[in-house]
Amino acid sequence: MNGLLDGVRVIDLSRVLAGPYAGQVLAEMGADVIKVEPPEGDMARGIGPFIDGRSLYFSSLNTGKRGIVLDLTTEDGSAALDALLETADIVIENYRPAAVKKLGLEPDDLLARHPRLVVVTISGYARDSARAADGSFDLIAQAESGIMSITGEEEGAPVRAGVAISDLAAGLWAALGGVAAYAGRLRDGRGRHVEVPLLDSAMSLLVYMATSAMGTGVDPAPVGSGHHNIVPYRAFATADGWVVIAVIGDKFWPLLCAAVGLDSMAGDARFRTNHQRTEARAEVDAAIEGAIARLSTTEALQRLSAAGVPHAPLNTVLQAVAMPYATETGMVAEVETPEGSYRVVQGPLRSGVPSRSAPALGEHTEEILSELLESGSTPLRSTQRPPDKE
């Protein structure tokens, strides 16, 4: 089946999370994504949990790709990569600057050899900054960006988001930047370099929080599952679980009050507008907490649904992927491998391309090299580092 990016070839030189996620996003949209790994493999292959000998962490970020092993520290490996890049539209890399220079992957060098190539670089910090050589990881970016300072309960310890949002944001920006640069190349025939720093990606997620802080001069504090500017908008404990309630817009306030038996508050002029409720956050939240705590989760959901109040159950991950909605929309896909199968959560821009399992290390090396041969590229004697002698 043809995808949105059918005919586009992407070379994924990246490791672990942000870069591989960008490549997988493009693969889900139909691009032919070739993951290039060193002989020892992407270090993510060693991150558990494991099923049938496969890392589920690695598999979750590399589904839909083909895999080739190239030792880029050898002349043959570098030549093979150049032959591969000659057939490619986009290349993604997230090496440290020193490694980029050592391996001959500097954007200017790549574009000199392949002037139509789109080069996507994911870095810890901008490579034209004073911190270019510094390494970074998601936890570091979450902390340094300010995100951790507003995550967690009031007066509690700083908390990182439950998923690697800095890495994932960088991956999404890298995929978007790669496609945008490719669109530019279609217009003028010239390749481009796009850089996505991890810290910048994390800071971009602050949006209204950063603007509000800079405008007022006041640092926002963590408010748990709540919202700094909207009340009520948070998780509330029921008699046997949790529900979340999101009263965005004043029309839902009286509907919520009627649904949970707080009729007197519905007519109280002190709580009529969101601004007033935000000022009286403690009193409003306490009243709703008491009302919701008397209801079972099922009863609370039924009442809120009948009243038309925006709400949801607080699902665990397994509950979320088991929702009929996830099956109906194809969000969860079953991927077959020779050893068994695993399930993955797909992105929202799927285009009908069937999911293919993440490649075993070097699974498609011969296939891809044969394609290069057929296309007229120079064949390689050896692309993998010989085993160490005992």
pLDDT tens by residue, 35-65: 999 999 999 999 999 998 899 999 999 999 9
Confidence category of residue 340, pLDDT binned at 50, 70, 90:
confident
Greatest CA span in the chain, whole angstroms? 82
pLDDT single digits (tens) 247-280: 998 999 999 999 999 999 999 999 999 999 999 9
Q: pLDDT tens-digit profile of 74-129?
A: 999 999 999 999 999 999 999 999 999 999 999 999 999 999 999 999 999 999 99
Burial readout 349-377 (b: 16 or more C-beta within 10 A, e: otherwise)? ebeebebebbbebbbbbeebbeebeeeeb
For the ranges 223-232, 287-296, 376-385, which has the lowest average pLDDT?
376-385
| The Cα angle at residue 75 between residues 69 and 77, in degrees rounded to 5 | 10
Q: Is 194 a residue whose pLDDT tops 50?
A: yes
SS (HEC) of 176-235 = HHHHHHHHHHHHHCCCEEEEEEHHHHHHHCCHHHHHHHHHHCCCCCCCCCCCCCCCCEEE
Pick the CATH number of 233-237+242-313 from 3.90.1150.10, 3.90.1720.10, 3.30.1540.10, 1.10.1040.10: 3.30.1540.10
Q: Which of 375, 374, 369, 356 has the alpha carbon at shortest distance from 30?
A: 356
- Strand 32-37 vs strand 332-337: parallel, antiparallel, or unpaired? unpaired
Q: What is the pLDDT of residue 381?
A: 46
| Cross-strand pairs, 193 | 119
**DSSP line for 40-52:** T--GGGGSS-EET
Give catalytic residue positions: 167
DSSP string, 232-301: SEEEEE-SSSEEEEE--STTHHHHHHHHHT-HHHHT-GGGSSHHHHHHTHHHHHHHHHHHHHTS-HHHHH
Strands 32-37 and 66-69: parallel
- Identify the architecture of domain 9-205+324-374 in CATH: 3-Layer(aba) Sandwich (3.40)
How many CB atoms neighbour CB 307 within 10 A?
A: 16
Lowest-pLDDT range of 173-187, 259-273, 367-381: 367-381
Show me where the domains of the chain are located.
Answer: 9-205+324-374, 233-237+242-313
**Residue 224: pLDDT over 60:** yes
